[in-house]
Amino acid sequence: MSRNNNNLNSNRSALVLKELIRHRLFIPIAFLAFLLLINVFINPGFLGVSLGRDSSGNPVLIGNLINILNNAAELVILAIGMTLVTASSRGQDISVGATVAIAGGVIMRVLCGNETQPTELHAPIIVALLLGCLAGMACGAFNGILVSKFNIQPMVATLILFTAGRSIGSMAMGGLKPKAAAEFGYYGNFIPGFPIPTPILITIVVVAVTFLALKITNLSLYTRAVGINDKSSSLNGLNPALIKFLTFVILGLCVGIAGFVQASRVQTVNPYTIVPGIEMDVILAVALGGNSLSGGKFNMTGSIIGAYTIQTLTSMLTTLNVNTNAVPVFKAVIIIMLVVIQSPIVKSFLGNKFTVLKSTVGDGKERG
């Protein structure tokens, strides 16, 4: 009786572990934990967070974890929008970096007007944020129309703004590179007297609103349905073109918020160098989160974890003094390995191998 119970418990454990390995979040969480352990090995105080002072003497939280959470803000926000676009359109928007430049350029023009270094802001910051978001949503709408109405592949459709977007951002600022007044910098750094970096707070708000929207609306269901089979969803009363268009507009909104945060960090925008290469990082964040790049089902939590994983990897390579030009190479190799390991075929293979091993061990115990 005791042996039968042991075998039953062993089989249950094997089944649980097999399902755990196959879970979409297993690889991104495991790799994030692995990266954190490596960083702790390199620097035992890596996870430490302490209260320090900024240049003005205000209390601020400092530490590597705070830096990762802070620096990943734009990536997390963009990954949220990219997840929906990928799920509905079965493609990716490669213009997010360029449209961040457009949104940032609009924000700087609103705040600075035609001055290069104004002593005061020309408009309330909330107005600049709203107009920046509208600019991002307009770019998203442009991409969405090409994809949903003209059935152009997302990567091809977004190639237009990918090519021209940064120049449009420069034109939005009148060819100038203005620097806004100091109070604008609070939203990309710290609010005086508040120790948590403002981009972290903005990210928390965006994530909370996203999950609330997905819970109380049918956006998640409709996006999945259109991504899996738009013709079938059309027969069931949905409007696939509208759903795809809406996801691109939502991504545009995320672009506007990310552009606001990025512009506020340094109180200016250089459209040709702002968030370089972030398009690939955003797509990789979605892929690492266990989402299929061919559309359909998606996991928003996975995309967010994927974004923090990529930022942790970037920070680790910087800590190891890897040459800046070589960072993308290391990142690409590691990400390729992760994506392959995370593929359904490999997951199934590992799960089956573990089941066979567990069964063999159990048989050996029973014979003993």
Domain boundaries defined on the chain: 17-367
Residue 366 confidence (pLDDT): 45
- Checking if the pLDDT of 63 tops 70, the result is yes
Cα 351 to Cα 231: distance, rounded to the nearest angstrom:
34
Structure tokens at 17: 């572990």
Cα 160 to Cα 155: distance, rounded to the nearest angstrom:
9
Structure tokens at 259: 């552009």
What's the average model confidence in pLDDT over 126-131? 97
pLDDT one-digit tens code per residue, 292-306: 888 888 999 999 999
- Where is average pLDDT lowest: 41-45, 205-209, 238-242? 41-45
Using pLDDT thresholds of 50, 70 and 90, give the confidence band for residue 236: confident
Cα separation values, 27 from 32, 171, 321, Å: 8, 43, 26
Quick check: 279 and 96 in contact, CB under 8 A?
A: yes
The correct CATH number of 17-367 out of 3.30.1360, 1.20.140, 1.10.150, 1.10.3470 is 1.10.3470
Sequence-distant (≥ 6) Cβ neighbours of residue 248 within 8 angstroms: 85, 89, 93, 140, 141, 143, 144, 147, 148
What's the average model confidence in pLDDT over 190-199? 92
Residue 238 confidence (pLDDT): 92
**Block residue for tokens 């702002």:** 274
pLDDT one-digit tens code per residue, 237-264: 999 999 999 999 999 999 999 999 999 9
Residue 355 confidence (pLDDT): 57
Residue 271 confidence (pLDDT): 94
Residue 315 confidence (pLDDT): 87
Residue 77 confidence (pLDDT): 98
Residue 214 confidence (pLDDT): 96
Query: How high does pLDDT run on average in the chain?
Result: 88
